[in-house]
Chains A and B, each alone.
Chain A
Amino acid sequence: MVYLQTKFPQFPEYTIFISLYRGVQKEVIEGVKTGLISGDEKYDFCFLNTTHIISVEQLYNAVHKALLNDLNESKVAKTLNTEIILNLSPINNIGDALRRFGVNENQSDVIVIKVLPSGTNEAGLDKLNNSVIELLGGSSVSNPTLNDDIIFSDLVDMKKLKKVYKLNDAKIDFSQSIQNDISKLVIACCHLRGC
Chain B
Amino acid sequence: MTDRLVDEAKLLLRNVSFQIVSQGAEALVFKTNIHPYFNDDQDESSYIIKYRPRKPYRHPKIDKSITKSRTIGEVKFMFKLAKAGIRAPRVVSTDYFNGIIWMEHIGYSLPDGKESTLKNWLWYLEKVRGESLSEEVQRICVEVGYLIGDLHLNDMIHGDLTSSNIMLDKKGPALIDFGLSSYSALPEDKAVDLYVLERAMNSTHADYASEYNSWLLKGYEKAHSDGHYSKQANKSFVEIIKRLEDVRLRGRKRSMIG
- Bound CA span A72–B142, Å: 45
Is the pair A63, B91 in contact by a Cβ cutoff of 8 Å? Answer: no
A-side contacts of B39, CB under 8 Å: 6, 9
Which chain B residue lies CB-closest to A180? Answer: B90
Please tell me if B123 contacts chain A, counting CB pairs below 8 Å.
no
Q: A9 with B34: in contact, given A64-B93, A191-B91, A192-B79 (CB under 8 Å)?
A: yes
Q: How far is the CB of B40 from chain A (nearest CB, A)?
A: 9
Number of interface residues of A (CB under 8 A): 31
Q: How far is the CB of A57 from chain B (nearest CB, A)?
A: 5
Number of interface residues of B (CB under 8 A): 28
Is the pair A187, B97 in contact by a Cβ cutoff of 8 Å? Answer: no
Q: How many CB-defined contacts (below 8 Å) exist between A and B?
A: 75
Please tell me if B98 contacts chain A, counting CB pairs below 8 Å.
yes
- Bound CA span A129–B85, Å: 41
Is the pair B75, A60 in contact by a Cβ cutoff of 8 Å? Answer: no
Interface of A is mostly: mixed
B-side contacts of A28, CB under 8 Å: none
B-side contacts of A173, CB under 8 Å: 85
Query: Which stretch from A102-110, A116-124, A138-146, A164-172 is at the chain B interface?
Result: A164-172
> In residues 19-44 of chain B, which contact A (Cβ within 8 Å)?
34, 36-39
Chain B, 86-121, contact with A by CB distance < 8 Å: what is the 0/1 string? 000011111111100000000000000000000000
Please tell me if A12 contacts chain B, counting CB pairs below 8 Å.
yes
Is the pair A10, B79 in contact by a Cβ cutoff of 8 Å? Answer: no
Q: How far is the CB of A26 from chain B (nearest CB, A)?
A: 33
Please tell me if B140 contacts chain A, counting CB pairs below 8 Å.
no
Q: A192 with B97: in contact, given A173-B85, A187-B91 (CB under 8 Å)?
A: no
- Ordered by A's residue number, 28 sampled pairs between the chains whose C-beta atoms are within 8 Å are A6-B39, A8-B36, A9-B15, A10-B36, A11-B14, A57-B38, A63-B37, A64-B36, A64-B37, A68-B93, A68-B95, A72-B95, A170-B83, A170-B85, A171-B83, A172-B85, A184-B91, A185-B79, A187-B91, A188-B82, A188-B91, A189-B79, A191-B91, A192-B72, A192-B79, A195-B72, A195-B75, A195-B76
